[in-house]
């Protein structure tokens, strides 16, 4: 019952306390794009590079989340919304712990991305659109999902029979169909570093 819940948010150590300890500024990097666009590849590269530079990070990948905290969710509209809500709430916990949190989720509509943005907070939500057209992702088909979807074996597949709305105004857009991995990763890191280095 809600009336029997007594949060202690105001009694715990602050995010600033954690950031000072870690010598970094926390942020949530929310990477959206079609399956096969390169989100997970870039997220893993970003995590490794930031770790090498002394930053503490956490990577929340959509498939990992669906195999754990979200393993009871399907792909109905309601379940997709709940998937994003739980993922964003999890990211917010790491944000409050002072960490650079990298989220790699398809996040197919403006509605679900706005849910995440509202939970995390506008100032801490850095949206990256990993952009590759459906045809390019289908050619790559790194997980074999496009073949199954095009054969009718997967229903509600994003970009085919479920909508994908491109972010209208992302903080960063990366065209993985037009530039190689190293260029994309370099662009991502260089954009983020000024935002996560501590103020001197």
Catalytic residues: 107
Per the DSSP assignment, residues forming a β-bridge with 131 are 175
Sign of CA dihedral 182, 185, 188, 190: negative
Query: 141-169 burial, b if ≥16 CB within 10 A, otherwise e?
Result: eeeebbeebeeeebeebbbbebebeebee
Residue position matching structure tokens 């190293």:
182
Enter the DSSP assignment of 11.
G
């Amino acid at each position: 019952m809600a009336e029997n819940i007594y949060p202690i948010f105001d009694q715990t150590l602050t995010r600033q306390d954690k950031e000072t300890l870690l010598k970094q500024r926390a942020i949530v990097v929310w990477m959206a794009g079609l399956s096969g666009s390169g989100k997970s590849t870039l997220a893993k590269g970003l995590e490794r590079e930031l770790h090498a530079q002394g930053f503490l990070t956490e990577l929340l990948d959509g498939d990992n989340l669906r195999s754990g905290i979200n393993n009871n969710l399907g792909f109905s509209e309601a379940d997709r919304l709940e998937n994003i809500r739980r993922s964003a709430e999890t990211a917010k916990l790491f944000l409050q712990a002072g960490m650079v949190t990298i989220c790699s989720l398809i996040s197919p509509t403006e509605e679900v991305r706005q849910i995440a943005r509202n939970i995390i907070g506008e100032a801490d939500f850095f949206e990256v659109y990993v952009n590759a057209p459906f045809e390019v992702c289908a050619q790559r088909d790194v997980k074999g999902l496009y073949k199954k979807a095009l054969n009718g074996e997967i229903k509600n597949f994003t970009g085919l029979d479920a909508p994908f709305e491109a972010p209208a105004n992302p903080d960063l857009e990366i065209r993985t169909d037009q530039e190689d991995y190293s260029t994309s990763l370099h662009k991502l890191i260089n954009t983020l570093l000024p935002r996560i280095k501590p103020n001197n």
